[in-house]
Amino acid sequence: MSIYYKSTRGGQSDMSCSQAIVKGLADDGGLFVPSDIPKIDLPFEKLAKMKYTELAFYIIQKFFPEIDNLKECIESAYDEKFDSKDKVELVERCGVSFLELYHGPTAAFKDMALSLLPYLLTSSAKKSSIDKDIVILAATSGDTGKAALAGFAGVEGTKIVVFFPNDGVSAIQKMQMVTQSESNTCVIGIDGNFDDAQTGVKNIFADNELKEKLSENGFMLSSANSINIGRLVPQIVYYVYSYVKLLSQGKVKDGEKVNFVVPTGNFGNILAGYYAMNMGIPVNKLICASNENNVLFDFISTGVYDRKRELVKTNSPSMDILVSSNLERLLYHLSGGNSGEVKKFMDKLSSEGSYSVGQDIKNKLSLFYGGFTSEDQTLETIKYAYENCSYLMDTHTAVAYKVYEDYKKSTGDDTYTVIASTASPFKFTKSVSTAIGMDADEDEFQLMYELSKESSVKVPYGLDGIEKKEIVHKTTCGKQSMENVLSDFLGVK
Ligand SMILES: *Cc1c(COP(=O)(O)O)cnc(C)c1O
């Protein structure tokens, strides 16, 4: 039986994987989900002998059988851009294994999916007989923009345009973006905050006249947002990879369950863990870790999702989010594919700002455990792990580790546990240096090297020497002129 994709809200079904990847979002506003979650049909010991790219091919082709150059896509995505031979590292410290997902070009876990997405997208476009250049538009508060730039840079048949708030990203993040040199990239600082950037991008997507004009000139707009199924599926691979690795390291027995702890924002990463479990990876708990924006903690504890609250700016900014888009996919699966019910929840969320699930879904949510940390606890955890386990972690990973410690204390559960480590500590140099007691007054670039000296951890190659790189993108614009800047870049009058 072959796999196909349908909308979580029921308005679309029978889409091929290529159509789902190209469209990104379903026409009814829902997210694409697979008709069935395929099962792992090889013994774990066999999977354990595979290289990361081989395993990626084995898993991803089950979801995307139509991508006929998938092997090449994977080889191009996970090449020497990653500074780890295995692409990810599994490091045992403090009695748990940290699954380091930040060895890609931009030193954050978004590289795991955004390195592959451009290839999936261009291949899918060909399959759907689209002969236009794909123009990716993104608004970013930091991590996504750079990972998308690095992924799409130099990929034939694509262009990428990233808008960031001029004063809303760190010095390191800004430098990472404005030094991207390939000619199919365009990076623009806007006078405004992240919401302004995001609204501007949404307005462009909604402007049919502009889209028509772009189309006449051979361009098609698309997004690299984490709701694209092409971003979700590549993330399943590292859950399978870490399980079979633990098996071959003798840390768990075949079939023994493990816990995964995931620092969560848009719910994409942890949902990939849920998919891995449904493919056959033995899981005890999926532990969902939040910062002070603890919407998901409340939801998992009470079954009520309520976004009516102020967004707090925290030291783990990639998780500062109030609407976790990918949760919609979980609701779909937990409701047994009841798209009518999912649509009701989502309609309520947009009209009233909250919804409440029934007892049946609430019971099924017990697979998850939710927790959150305060700003101080996050920093204290970095210090604790550094001093007691000689492990330097970033703020997001610290949120996860602290929530796990709380979980263990309150439940006594001693199941072997894997913590998803989502960013290099050097991406958040200022917070990390402060946490371990360094003088963090220096400029952030200098501080990076100080932190490296202090911790004896190498600065990731994507950040090393970044302060000396040539600044290529100097354009800034007002929030009203984003369309003009886009048209100029594409040479469309
Ligand atoms: C994006 C991001 C997250 C959150 O991942 P989601 O898939 O959105 O839940 C966590 N940590 C870091 C460093 C990130 O960049």
Per-domain boundaries in the chain: 89-108+230-465
What is the phi/psi pair of residue 409, to 5°?
-60, -45
Rounded distance from Cα 179 to ligand 1 centre (Å): 23
Catalytically annotated residue among 87, 110, 159, 174: 110
Topology of domain 89-108+230-465, per CATH?
A: Rossmann fold (3.40.50)
Lowest model confidence (mean pLDDT) among 119-128, 282-291, 334-343: 119-128
pLDDT above 80: residue 123: yes
State the pLDDT at residue 25: 87
What pLDDT digit, counting tens, does each position of 68-95 carry?
999 999 999 999 999 999 999 999 999 9
Task: Identify which of 266, 275, 382, 397 to mutate to test ligand 1's pocket (most ligand atoms within 8 A of the CB).
Answer: 266
At residue 385 the predicted structure's pLDDT band, cuts being 50, 70 and 90, is very high
Specify whether the CB–CB gap between 145 and 138 falls below 8 A.
yes
The whole-number pLDDT of residue 168 equals: 77
Regarding the beta carbon of 266 and ligand 1, being less than 6 Å apart is answered: yes
| Bridging pattern class, strands 96-100 and 304-306 | unpaired
- Report the mean per-residue pLDDT for the chain: 94
Q: What pLDDT was estimated at residue 223?
A: 84
Report whether residue 423 contacts ligand 1, using a CB cutoff of 6 Å.
Answer: yes
pLDDT in tens, 211-256: 999 999 999 998 888 889 999 999 999 999 999 999 999 999 999 9
The mean pLDDT value for 39-60 works out to 98
Instruction: Output the pLDDT for position 1.
Output: 55
**What is the per-residue pLDDT across 288-345, written as a single tens digit (0 to 9) for each?**
999 999 999 999 999 999 999 998 889 998 898 888 999 999 999 999 999 999 999 9
pLDDT value for 198: 82
* Token couple for 131: 């002969």
Give the 3-state secondary structure of residue 405: helix
The C-alpha atoms of residue 215 and residue 335 are separated, in whole angstroms, by 39
State the average pLDDT over residues 470-479: 93
Burial bucket for residue 139 (CB in 10 Å: 0-12, 13-18, 19+): buried
Strands of 348-485, DSSP E: 354-356, 368-372, 417-421, 476-478
Question: Has this prediction a pTM greater than 0.85?
Answer: yes
